[in-house]
Each structure stands twice: as structure tokens, then as C-alpha cells.
Structure 1
């Protein structure tokens, strides 16, 4: 017994009018739209990325106002951060850290490096430095 097909080559369940409308829509030229200012869009994106990636600021460290900068660098197609912390007007010591995947981790490690150097130079005692280590 041969299987019989009730389909006569038509799309079942899809109205012909919908298919005809879609076909005509594809044949018509696109309507003009307002011009997109890619320069403005790229500028906004770059500005947002720059404020998230490059960080500068101040923090209170061992009762002194200190400055820090955090910058990205790439190694093996991955982004890492390096950070420097210094306290102008107090000491020429610079705490540094690099090779960290997160900016906050780089800042924490640079702070620890600064505090260890301050203890080694005799600027602060180990008891004063303990909360930062």
C-alpha cells in the first residue's frame, strides 16, 4: 500500500497573503533613515572604557593622603593591571604591583608593597602597618 500525501505543494498553515507581503517587502528598497554618527558613538564607548580601565585617585594610607594610578597592559591576548601608589610630601617610596587580572587586586597589592617598604625603611612600625598587610 503506497503512502498518499494530502499536500499539493502549498505551504500549509501559512497564509498566502503573509508570504506575498514578505516577498514584496524584501524587493522594495530600504527607506532612508537618519545618519548614524559613528564618531560620536565610538567616542562615547572609548570614554566609558577609559574611565573604567584607567583609574587615578587618592586614598588615606597610614594617616597620609596618597595617590594611585591603575593602568591596563596586555600579555598573551589577556588584559592585566599594574598599579602604583605614592605619598607626595611624605616619602619617595612607591608601591607597585603588576600582572593582576583585576584593577582592585592590583591596587591592594601595590598598597601592601608600599606598606612593606615603609616598614623596611623605618617610617612606620609593624603594628601600624599590620591592618594594611
Structure 2
């Protein structure tokens, strides 16, 4: 979901809020808060340990053909310049797919051995 869409939803909500009767305003505020929290939770970032190195990842949502997908990116500063990417429909699976892409690229670059790569790809 693009930032412009999120901004549009917030602007429309703010424009419609004064038109809602006072008794319903609390309901609209609760709904707007719940929707905002749900939209914000689609993004994620953090750090994982991979082969005794700390790596950063970012998960961002995107819409393709009217369906929600997640794109993951991973990089390991201080270890290698390799950047991994993966796109899936599963928010929980995108980090695993991104990690597997990183391991494949690291093996192809000769940074890790075949045994280390197999251990990560098969787990």
C-alpha cells in the first residue's frame, strides 16, 4: 500500500468526522483507530542473526492485481554487500524466503560453504 493511499484515507476521515453526529463520533474514532493500527502493522523491520552475523530486514506491503503481497529485503552490514529480496503473499513467510535468497547469493559469491548453505536451505 502506498503512502498516498494511507494519506488519502486519513484526509477523508478527517473531512467526514465533523459531519458525523456527536454520538456516532466515538464509534468513528474507534473504527479509525483500529484501521490505522491494522495498516501500520503491515510494515515491519528488525534484526536477525545469520551465521553469527547480524542482518537487518525490512518488510513492506504492496498491492499487485488487487491482492496484498509482502516484499522483504535483507542486508548484513559489516559482513557483505549482498542484498536479498523476496516477495510472497505470506507476511510470516517473507522473512524466511528473503533469508533463503541471501544464503543462495552468499554461496554463489563464495562467502559461505556448500555445507553451510545446505544447512540453512534445508531447515
Normalised by the length of structure 1, the TM-score is 0.66
**Can you give the 5+ residue segments of structure 1 that lack an aligned partner in the other structure?**
1-31
Q: Which runs of 4+ in 1 moved over 2 A?
A: 32-35, 37-41
Helix, strand or coil at the partner of 1:91: coil
Matching of residue 117 in structure 1 with residue 89 in structure 2? no
Higher Cα radius of gyration: 1
What is the correspondence of 1:91-106 to structure 2 with a 5 Å cutoff? 91-98=80-87, 100-106=88-94
What is the correspondence of 1:1-133 to structure 2 with a 5 Å cutoff? 33=23, 35-36=25-26, 38-39=28-29, 41-51=31-41, 53-98=42-87, 100-133=88-121
Alignment CA distance shift 1:122-1:39 (3 Å): same
Helix, strand or coil at the partner of 1:92: coil
Greater helix fraction, Structure 1 or Structure 2: 2
**Can you give the 5+ residue segments of structure 2 that lack an aligned partner in the other structure?**
1-21
Q: How large is the Cα RMSD of the aligned pairs?
A: 2.0
Normalised by the length of structure 2, the TM-score is 0.71
